[in-house]
Amino acid sequence: MAETLLDIRGLKTWFKTDDGMVRAVDGVDLHIDRGETVGVVGESGCGKTVTARSVLKLIDMPPGRFEAGQILWQGRDLIPLDQDEMNKIRAREIAIVFQEPMTSLNPVYTVGDQIAEVIALHQKLNRKQAMDGAAEMLRLVNIPNAQRRVHDYPHQFSGGMRQRVMIAMALSCQPKLLIADEPTTALDVTIQAQILELMQEMKERFGMAILLITHAMGVVAETCQRVTVMYAGKVVEEAPVKALFGDPRHPYTQGLIRSIPRVDRAARHKERLEAIPGTVPSLLEPPPGCRFAARCRYVSEICVRDMPPLKEVGPGHYVRCVL
């Protein structure tokens, strides 16, 4: 049994708004072992990003607040820590890469300055050593002419290159866990593949774990060992990647998998892409019962009445459904 790095237990991150409490994350359990890649999938607005940001405590409080739960990082709960203590964990132990590479770099500094800043912040190094470290990181993420490119400004890099720089920055202190929040969503398909490959390569090199947040099922199938499917702030299914794609049990997961575009079928049979009807429900005072009930094709009376518990249906395969 591998060592558990991160263990999120019953996390509830709620946001106070004028209309009431928005239950963005409503009792999420998630764990990542050392060196593992775990995917979190779901539609926009299902709480993936809030879960990720909660781990690093990047949620603005107020309006956000941790209603309940624990975030255990190597056995230590992060929730009571203040920002100063979190700053010792950020980048050094847990790093994050955001979705938008075009705007995630500060336009007034060279990329080398920005990577060196992170290095100097966490390791007692002088400027020269930090800059050397920055150049080395750029080389590792396969940026050609790294030694010279450290002196370039973000606007001189393309989107894919900037995402490489962001990854270099996130990995510059060799974190044990990299949270990638939709790292490829803003990039075109060929670049996406390169970035995923790079992350895989870096993972092997540094032996870190990856929490990959995405809405692209294809990306998950390619890179993850375990997948957690979220819907409206709840985990609805959790399984090893093979079990999830081979035997999806929750109607929502089945819908997500059916809605993956298949270019070959679309061209040959003029098949229309299947979509899940309806939209994600409001997270404001959600009704009792299954959150997916309103969109589920198998809905029955019991679904609307009670929230189904997460039950084990196979080895490491859990599903929150009465079926």
Partner 1 sequence: MPGLTPASLSAEAPPAAAAAPVETRRKARFSPWHESWRRFRRHKLAVASGVVLLLIVAAIIIGPLLWRLPINEIDFTAKLQGPSWAHPLGTDDLGQDVLARLLYGGRISLAVGLAAMLVAITVGVLVGALAGMSSGHLDAVLMWLADLFLSLPQLPLLLLLIYLFRDALKTAFGPEGGVFVLIVVVIGGLRWMPAARLVRAQFLSLREKEFVEAARALGASKPRQVIRHILPNALGPVIVAGTIDVAAAIIAESTLSFLGLGFPPDIPTWGRLLADAKDYLDIAPHWALAAGAAIFLTVLSINFIGDGLRDALDPRSVI
Separation of first and last alpha carbons in the chain: 30
If one asks whether residue 76 binds partner 1 (CB under 8 A), the answer comes out as no
Our finding on whether 82 is near partner 1 (CB under 8 A) is no
Closest distance to partner 1 from the beta carbon of 50 (Å): 14
C-alpha angle 273/276/277, rounded to 5°? 115
Q: Which of 70, 139, 153, 299 binds partner 1 (CB under 8 A)?
A: 153
Residues of span 1-20 touching partner 1 by CB under 8 A: none
Residues 84-143 that bind partner 1 (CB under 8 A): 84, 86-92, 95-96, 98, 100, 103-110, 117-118, 121-122
Amino acid at 63: P
Q: With respect to partner 1, which residue has the nearer C-beta, 118 or 191?
A: 118
Query: What are φ and ψ of residue 68, in 5° steps?
Result: -165, 170
Q: How far is the CB of 18 from partner 1 (least distance, A)?
A: 15
Smallest distance, partner 1 to C-beta of residue 314, A:
36
Q: How far apart are CA 125 and CA 48, in angstroms?
A: 36
What is the residue type of 12?
K
# of chain residues touching partner 1 (CB under 8 A): 35
Closest distance of CB 201 from partner 1, Å: 21
Q: Are 214 and 225 in contact (CB under 8 A)?
A: no
Helices (H), 181-225: 189-206, 217-223
Burial class of 226 by CB neighbour count within 10 A (0 to 12, 13 to 18, 19+): buried
Nearer to partner 1, 166 or 196 (CB): 166
Strand order in the sheet with 177-181: 94-97, 177-181, 209-214, 37-41, 226-231, 234-240, 317-319, 311-314
Q: Which is nearer to partner 1, 67 or 117 (CB)?
A: 117
Tell me if 170 contacts partner 1 by CB under 8 A: yes
Residue 239 to residues 163, 220, 319, Cα–Cα distance (Å): 29, 12, 8
Query: How far is residue 30's CA from residue 234's CA, in Å, rounded to a whole number?
Result: 11
Closest separation between CB of residue 162 and partner 1, Å? 11
Opening angle at CA 72, ends 67 and 77, nearest 5: 65
Backbone dihedral angles phi then psi of residue 293, each to the nearest 5 degrees: -50, -40
**Residues of this chain, 21-60, that bind partner 1 according to CB under 8 A:** 56, 58
- Residue 185 vs 254, nearer CB to partner 1: 185
Place of tokens 């510059």: 172
Of 11, 134, 150, 169, the residue at the interface with partner 1 (CB under 8 A) is: 169
- Contact segment (CB under 8 A) with partner 1 among 164-172, 223-231, 277-285, 291-299 equals 164-172
Question: Among 19, 83, 272, 297, which residue interacts with partner 1 (rule: CB under 8 A)?
Answer: 83
Query: For partner 1, which is the closer residue by CB, 18 or 84?
Result: 84
Nearer to partner 1, 141 or 170 (CB): 170
Please write down the HEC assignment for all residues of 255-297.
Answer: HHHHCCCCHHHHHHHCCCCCCCCCCCCCCECCCCCCCCHHHCC
Give whichever of 11 and 170 is closer to partner 1, judged by the CB atom. 170
Query: Nearest approach, Cβ of 304 to partner 1 (angstroms)?
Result: 39
| Binding footprint of partner 1 on the chain (CB under 8 A) | 56, 58, 83-84, 86-92, 95-96, 98, 100, 103-110, 117-118, 121-122, 151-153, 155-156, 166, 169-170
